[in-house]
Amino acid sequence: MRIDRRYFGFPGKASVALTMALLLLGSCSTSAIVCPAVEPEFAVQVSFYDAVSQQRLLGPTPGVIEEGAYRDSLRVFAFDLHGAVASMAAGRGREGTYRLTAKRDGYGEYSRSNIRVESAGCGVIPVRIDAQLQPE
């Protein structure tokens, strides 16, 4: 009984061609970055301060970041040691150039434009802002 080697993956013209194609494809790899399965950083992270006393304002401060039609509300980002809201954030994992507006009771509206957030392979490089709110 004779066995035809072409059907069992032994060297033949077809398997040599397939092996060469696989080697060529493997050498043409892109510089793709493999990112860990974690949630991306918030693009804009904000802590609020009283502009007169320089005291940190604890508790949530309503606000938004905007870029063109994109709009994202600030949300709680970090707490202090006593469990009070210490900072807010928005724009999870999204690069761009933003405008931030925020308004807290007893203070004038805070606004800052041209907040540039850049990509960093597996996410963004967060921009941290210490917003000085003027008492009314």
pLDDT on residue 50: 98
- Residue 35: its pLDDT value, please? 73
Q: Are 115 and 44 in contact (CB under 8 A)?
A: yes
Residue with tokens 């059907």: 7
Tokens for 76, please give them. 């709680």
Q: What are phi and psi of 120, to 5 degrees?
A: -135, 50
CA distances from 76 to 7, 41, 66, 93 (A): 63, 13, 17, 16
Domain parsing of the chain, residue ranges:
42-133
Cα distance between residue 111 and residue 100, in whole Å = 6
What is the reported pLDDT for 83? 94
Domain 42-133 sits in which CATH superfamily? Carboxypeptidase-like, regulatory domain (2.60.40.1120)
From CA 136, how far away is CA 104, in angstroms rounded? 10
- Listed in sequence order, the residues at least 6 apart from 77 whose beta carbon sits closer than 8 Å to its beta carbon are 42, 45, 46, 87, 88, 89
pLDDT in the model for residue 29: 46
Q: What is the pLDDT along the chain (136 residues), one digit of tens a residue?
A: 555 444 444 455 555 555 555 454 444 445 576 777 677 899 999 999 999 999 999 999 999 999 999 999 999 999 999 999 999 999 999 999 999 999 999 999 999 999 999 998 888 999 999 999 999 9
